[in-house]
Amino acid sequence: MSPSSNINILFISDIVGRLGRKITKDALPQLKKKLNIDLTIANGENAAAGYGITEKVYNELVETGIDAITMGNHMFDKKDCASALERCPKIVRPANYPPGVPGKDHLIIETAKGKVAVINLLGRVFMQAVDCPFRVGAALIDKIKGDVPAIIVDIHAEATSEKYAIGYYLDGKASAVLGTHTHVMTADEQIMAQGTAYISDAGMTGAHDSVIGMEKDKIIARFLTQMPHRFEPVTTGEGVLNAVYLSVDPKTGKAKEIKRIFEIIPSAD
C-alpha cells in the first residue's frame, strides 16, 4: 500500500487473555508495515485473563506497539486498575461513566500526519446503568473537534440497533464509530453519508476454537443447566485476529476507507 497524506489507523478488537496478547504481539509488526499504519488502537477490556486489565498487561500491550487502549464494561474488574490508571496514560475509559470515576474520558494522540482523538463509550441496552452515550459522545466531540478533526469512537455495546443508532447520530461528527463487545465480527462495514466509517462489531482477537474467546464447554454447560460457571479464556491452539483498517483525512476528519481484517493464526500458542 503506497503512502498517502491520510492517517492510516489499525483498530484491534477485544484482545482476550494471554493467547490474544500473543497473537497481537506476533502479528502487529507485519500488519503495521503492510498497511503503513500511523496509529494503532486496541480494545483491552478482556486482556487480563479475560476480565479487565492490569498494569502489567497494559505495559505488555504498549511494548507490543499499541498507542491507545479502549475499554468497556470490564473496565474495573481488576481491583488495582483504578489506582494504576495514572501510570497507564494510554488507557481511555468509557466517557459516559458517571462523574467522579477515575481515568481519561478521551485521548489525543499526535501522529506524523496529524492528531487523532480516541473516545470510548458504553452502550446501555442489556448493559450496566451509565450516562447516555449519545449525549455524552456528541458533547465530547463538540468539545474537541475544532482542534482535532480525526476522532475515533469505540462503542462498546450489546445491541446492534443501539450501535447503528449511535453511528447515524455521530455521522459527520466522528471519523469512525466502531462497535465492540460481542466478540463476533460483523460484515456491515461502510462509510456513512456524512463521512463516518462504521462497523457494528469489530470482533475479537483470541482463541478461534472457543465461544467468544472462552472455553466452550463451560459456556455450553451454563446454557444447558442455567447454573453459574466461571468463564475462562482459552490459552492454547488456533487463534483469530480481528481488526479494522481505517484511512482518515486529517484535515476534514472524514473517513476515506474502512476494511475488515480477519486472520486465522495456526498454533498461536
Q: Is a pLDDT exceeding 60 seen at residue 119? A: yes
- Over residues 55-65, the pLDDT tens digits come to 999 999 999 99
Active site residue 183: no
- The residues near 5 (Cβ < 8 Å, ≥ 6 apart) are 113, 249, 250
Residue 237: inside a domain: yes
Q: 79: which DSSP letter?
A: T
Region label for 57, one of left (φ > 0), alpha (ψ between -120 and 50) or beta (otherwise): alpha
Q: Are strands 114-122 and 106-111 parallel, antiparallel or unpaired?
A: antiparallel
First to last CA, the chain: 30
pLDDT of residue 269: 56
CATH of the domain at 44: 3.60.21.10
Q: What share of the chain is helix, strand, coil (3-state, %, to 5)?
A: 25, 30, 45
- Over residues 68-94, the pLDDT tens digits come to 999 999 999 898 899 999 999 999 999
Residue 36: inside a domain: yes
**Could you tell me the three cell numbers for 41?**
488502537
What is the amino acid identity at position 107? L
Catalytic site residue from 74, 106, 181, 208: 74
Q: Is a pLDDT exceeding 70 seen at residue 20? A: yes
Domain around 35: 7-265
Structural domain total, the chain: 1
Distance, CA of 225 to CA of 227 (rounded, Å)? 5
Residue 2: inside a domain: no
Residue 23: inside a domain: yes
pLDDT of residue 268: 56
Residue 1: inside a domain: no
Q: Is 55 exposed, middle or buried (0-12, 13-18, 19+ CB in 10 A)?
A: middle
Residue 144: inside a domain: yes
Residue 40: inside a domain: yes
Q: 214: which DSSP letter?
A: B
